[in-house]
A and B are shown apart, each in its own frame.
Chain A
Amino acid sequence: MAAVNRILFVCSGNAARSPMAAEILRSLGVTRSRLRHVVVESAGTHASDGERPFDGAIEAMEEIGARVEVAALGDYAGIPGDVEAPCDSREECAACRDHLQRLVAAVVRRLERAARGDRDGARVAPGRNRPG
């Protein structure tokens, strides 16, 4: 099957669910060479201009950042075929710890840029007052 180059997540307001999914997939792509070329976007069936992502979505992403990247640590630590397996020694592993911190920081930076409406930020769009 042909490689996927462009993927779109869709929810209602593009304010929480699909932007979160898109951001998580982008984050996972950081450590997966086969996904680095994939363009990930999000949209909403009822998204409208001039709105921001829900604060709840941003806060949730900050909270789960570590959890998401623990999965990526499986790849980083060279555990083949099972991205769920984290590096068991990550508490003592400086490389894994640094890697985790950098990835989480990158997720937070992208979300902050998106919240400010920067075009280079994640497509975490609208809607404090509408469903996401």
Chain B
Amino acid sequence: MPQGLEHLTGEFDRVLAVDGSVLAELTKRRPDLRAELLGSWVPGGNVEDPFQQGPEAYRQRALQLAEMTRRVAERLARGE
């Protein structure tokens, strides 16, 4: 179930890019989405690509995302 940018339709209330290079590409190709950096909206920094770095890298990214996403959930629950 891929979802390239060309498949995105409708409006999003929040669009969060996981790192700066993704944000740059997203802003260039889909400025209408008004993307933000996940690591700017909540603390946690860039979520680096774990590709071909082994299981531990995926686990670390998952834990990082879990913490950042928990903070996203808190902000959303507050109506931000």
Contacts and interface: CB of A to CB of B under 8 A. Distances in A.
Interface of A: 1-14, 16-18, 20-21, 24-25, 28-29, 32, 34-35, 38, 41-51, 54, 56-57, 59-61, 63-64, 67-68, 71, 83-84, 114, 117, 119, 121, 123-127, 130-132
Contacts, number: 181
B8 A8 contact: yes
B7 to A, nearest CB: 7
Contacts of A6: 10-14
A24 B66 contact: yes
Q: Which 8 A-B pairs have the closest CB atoms?
A: A56-B58, A60-B62, A60-B58, A126-B2, A4-B13, A43-B3, A125-B2, A131-B51
Interface residues of B, number: 49
Contacts of B26: 10, 45
A20 B61 contact: yes
Contacts of B51: 13, 16, 54, 130-132
Nearest to A38: B76
Contact of B1 (A4, A8, A126): A126
With most chain B CB atoms within 10 A of its CB, the pick from A4, A10, A68, A127 is A10
Given A17-B47, A20-B61, A56-B57, A123 B1 contact: yes
A38 to B, nearest CB: 6
Interface of B: 1-5, 7-8, 10-19, 21-22, 25-26, 29, 33, 35, 38, 47, 49-51, 54-55, 57-59, 61-63, 65-66, 68-70, 72-74, 76-77, 79-80
Given A1-B80, A21-B18, A61-B62, A46 B4 contact: yes
Contacts of A38: 76
Contacts of A71: 66, 70
A26 to B, nearest CB: 10
Contacts of B18: 9-11, 17-18, 21
Given A24-B65, A43-B3, A54-B58, A11 B76 contact: no
